[in-house]
């Protein structure tokens, strides 16, 4: 084929692709709202680290134009303009970024502060919940659809699912040790732990653990409750220094997990920020919980 004819075909394909890309896309978000974008968003404001990481996992970090103050990953988005933090979220700061999509999770009043104003202004805003690992995968697909990169989204999810399937195959048939993961400590002496119905709890189960303490919907428990539960494995989402300080407290040295040297520090970013890095945490935790099965 002559070069001129090939160029015309390429140009026609590009035009067709642009026309397809410009078609409106509608999705249903975690609140049951229908969210429509007229064309693939190019200026995205992501509220919370989890949503930033989901967008970035699709190779779209360059489209992120605003983040919140606690976002630390991926490195290329650090330093982008801030639209809020510990004290709340600024509608004016979000609007100043001229976004064509806002992605938010209903935590720290973010959805309450931003959804209604964005709707009034005609700025698409999608609300995501990350309660399980499969829901994280679904949210990657949803964002990929909104952003016009459906095939890329499927590829990202397929790769993550393959890693999860590999873990499941390795630990199949193994007895699940009882686990408590401490995710924080409060000034009143209470402790925060991973619990059922959350992505952190789901990650523990998928790594081959079971809950030593059924706290129901309560994230806060007393140290006495943890000691009484006497887990096979104690996990601490934080630093080695803080972990050592904790297990040196009266009574903790007698815990089965401490006696058996099965008290481990895990990365907060892998268990407290739902996203692709959660798979890193599951893989590492499966090795800790089932060292023989995962060799």
Q: For position 134, which CATH number holds? A: 3.40.50.1980
Please give the tally of structural domains in the chain. 2
User: Model confidence over 111-120: pLDDT tens digits?
Assistant: 989 999 999 9
**Reported pTM:** 0.88
Contacts of 27 (CB under 8 A, 6+ apart): 34, 35, 126, 142, 145, 146
188: Cβ–Cβ under 8 A, 6 or more apart, which residues? none
Paired with 64 in beta bridges are 44
Residue-wise pLDDT tens digits, 156-192: 999 999 999 999 999 999 999 999 999 998 888 899 9
Give the percent of the chain with pLDDT over 90. 82
What is the structure's pLDDT at 1? 44
Cβ pair 236, 246 in contact under 8 A: yes
Amino acid 217: pLDDT: 64
Instruction: Say if 274 falls within a structural domain.
Output: yes
Distance CA 82, CA 96 (A): 11
Nearest residue to 44 (alpha-carbon basis) of 130, 126, 155: 126
3 falls in which pLDDT band (50, 70, 90)?
A: very low
Pairing mode, strands 220-221 and 191-193: antiparallel
- In this structure, the answer to whether residues 183 and 274 fall within a common structural domain is yes
Q: Is 236 found in the same domain as 145? A: no
Q: Supply the range of the domain harboring residue 233.
A: 173-289
pLDDT band, residue 152 (cuts 50/70/90): very high
Residue 82 lies in a domain: yes
């Amino acid at each position: 084929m002559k070069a001129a004819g090939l160029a015309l075909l390429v140009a026609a394909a590009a035009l067709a692709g642009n026309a397809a890309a410009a078609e409106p896309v509608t999705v249903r978000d975690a609140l049951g709202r229908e969210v429509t974008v007229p064309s693939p968003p190019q200026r995205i404001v992501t509220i919370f680290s989890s949503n930033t990481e989901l967008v970035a996992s699709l190779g779209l970090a360059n489209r992120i134009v605003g983040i919140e103050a606690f976002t630390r990953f991926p490195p290329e988005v650090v330093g982008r303009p801030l639209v809020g933090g510990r004290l709340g979220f600024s509608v004016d700061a979000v609007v100043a970024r001229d976004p064509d999509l806002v992605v938010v999770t209903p935590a720290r009043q973010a959805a309450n502060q931003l959804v209604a104003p964005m709707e009034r202004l005609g700025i698409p805003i999608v609300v995501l919940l990350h309660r399980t690992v499969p829901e994280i995968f679904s949210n990657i697909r949803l964002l990929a659809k909104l952003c016009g990169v459906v095939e890329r989204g499927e590829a990202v999810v397929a790769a993550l699912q393959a890693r999860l399937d590999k873990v499941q195959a390795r630990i199949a048939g193994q007895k699940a040790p009882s686990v408590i993961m401490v995710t924080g400590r409060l000034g009143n002496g209470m402790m925060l732990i991973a619990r059922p119905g959350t992505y952190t709890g789901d990650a523990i189960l998928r790594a081959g653990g079971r809950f030593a303490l059924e706290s129901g919907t309560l994230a806060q428990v007393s140290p006495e409750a943890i000691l009484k539960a006497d887990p096979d494995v104690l996990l601490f989402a934080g630093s080695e220094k803080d972990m050592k300080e904790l297990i040196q407290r009266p009574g903790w040295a007698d815990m089965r997990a401490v006696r058996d040297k099965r008290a481990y520090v895990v990365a907060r970013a892998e268990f407290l920020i739902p996203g692709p890095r959660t798979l890193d945490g599951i893989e590492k935790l499966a090795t800790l919980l089932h060292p023989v099965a995962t060799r």
